[in-house]
Amino acid sequence: MTTNTAKKIQEYLVVHKQVTPKQLVEYLGISRQALFKHLPRLLEEGKIEKIGKPPIVYYFIKDQVIPATQFQENQIESQIIDKSYLTITPTGEKLTGMKGFKYWCHKNKLPLIKTVTEYEKTFQKYAKYKKAGLIDGTYKLKHSFNKIYVDRIFYLDFYSIERFGKTKLGWMLLYAKQSQNKVLIKEICESIQKEVDKFLIQHNVDAVSFVPPTVKREVQLMAEIENNLNLHLPIINLQKIKTDLIVPQKTLSKIEDRIENARQTIMVNDNRSYNNVLIIDDAIGSGATINETAKKIREKQIAKNKIYGLAITGSFKGFEIISEV
């Protein structure tokens, strides 16, 4: 039931578009506490929306309303979508599960029920490549490089899948890196911690290295991942050489250029010796960075036995650039 105050809030938003709680308080002549008895209900009912976080928050009327003809479709359920789907709106809102999928379908003018079925089929197609929570990307290297220095390379999920775009981990990785969001980086680590720990045990890993970043940022993704995973293993010291012009791997479209970039800019500053070593990176496009890093670790005889590579996400095809991250 819409109260007189709630109706006034909506009418004010229609006229003034985006307004702050302070503006609403002044217009209605009520206390802030009284105002916030109405706003949560209006948000829950979908009659208004908000953007921002305290202290800067604006409320507004939704521009798009889902047609009544789609209400029956909204009752559909999907365990696959509820568990695996995530999308980020243009305004930075994180929508998970069926709520996010409905938003994506509505935005792209797609029928919900039919698209749910299509998504589940596509998801299951890609899920076949995942064994015990990992995707083996070793085949990528065999088709891209003349010589492979890493024994096997894995990633936890694909960065994107056909038609539906970025996976849940793909979205999280993109915005964690671009926004330097520590909360989102921690969320990524919490979601992958179990699989990483299991990998270390299954492959008898006794030392880890984290691929160093190329671009200087206030919050470095790999440094935060290292801190949050807290693997309790020796960390092999990798260093990124500073050059006059910074050239990120993602800007290079030729495999030869990627190999040269990794070979000349990543150095191993360590003389200790271990049995099995793991190299961790955020995303695998060509695999050049991990392969060239493994080569240097072998040349320094730091790994006496196996060298593994592990990334949060990876591309599906052999040499496919993930240019966003």
Cα separation, 222 vs 193, in Å, equals: 14
Alpha helices in the chain (DSSP H): 4-16, 21-28, 32-35, 39-44, 79-84, 97-107, 112-127, 138-142, 168-179, 182-202, 221-229, 255-265, 288-299
- Cα dihedral sign, 147-280-272-261: positive
Number of other residues whose CB lies within 10 A of the CB of residue 133: 14
Task: List the structure tokens of 286.
Answer: 């060509």
Burial of residue 187 (CB within 10 Å: 0-12, 13-18, 19+) is middle
Q: What is the pLDDT of residue 65?
A: 42
Q: What is the pLDDT of residue 254?
A: 76
Q: Which of 4, 278, 325 is nearest to 167 (CA)?
A: 325
Please give the distance of CA 170 from its chain centroid, rounded to a whole number.
Answer: 4
Residue whose entry in the numeric block shows the structure tokens 């293993």: 233
Cα separation, 163 vs 176, in Å, equals: 23
Q: What is the pLDDT along the chain (325 residues), one digit of tens a residue?
A: 457 899 899 888 888 888 999 999 999 999 999 999 999 999 888 889 888 888 888 888 876 444 433 434 456 889 999 999 999 988 788 899 999 999 999 999 999 999 999 999 999 999 999 998 999 998 878 777 888 999 999 999 999 999 999 999 999 999 998 888 899 999 999 999 999 999 999 999 999 999 988 777 788 899 999 999 999 999 999 988 877 677 676 776 677 777 777 778 888 999 999 999 999 999 988 888 899 999 999 999 999 999 999 999 998 765 455 656 6
SS3 of 13, please? helix
Cα separation, 260 vs 291, in Å, equals: 12
Contacts for 258 with CB less than 8 Å, ≥ 6 apart: 249, 252, 285, 286, 288, 289
Q: Give 123's Cβ-side CA count (13 Å radius).
A: 17
Please give the distance of CA 226 from its chain centroid, rounded to a whole number.
Answer: 16
Burial letters 197-230, b for 16+ CB under 10 A, else e: eebbeebebbbbbbbbebeeeeebbbebbbebbe
Q: Which of 192, 208, 189, 214 is nearest to 308 (CA)?
A: 208
The maximal CA–CA distance of the chain, rounded, in angstroms, is: 76
Q: Which of 182, 130, 184, 189 is nearest to 156 (CA)?
A: 130
Contacts for 60 with CB less than 8 Å, ≥ 6 apart: 13, 17, 18, 19, 48, 49, 50, 51
Cα separation, 324 vs 78, in Å, equals: 29
Residue limits of CATH 3.40.50 in the chain: 130-314
Length of the chain: 325
Residue at 129: amino acid letter: Y
Residue whose entry in the numeric block shows the structure tokens 């709630």: 6
Q: Which of 211, 198, 126, 139 is nearest to 169 (CA)?
A: 126
Residue limits of CATH 1.10.10.10 in the chain: 4-60
Q: What is the pLDDT of residue 118?
A: 96
- CATH for the 130-314 domain, from 1.10.3470, 3.40.50, 1.20.120, 3.40.630: 3.40.50
Report the CATH number of the 4-60 domain.
1.10.10.10
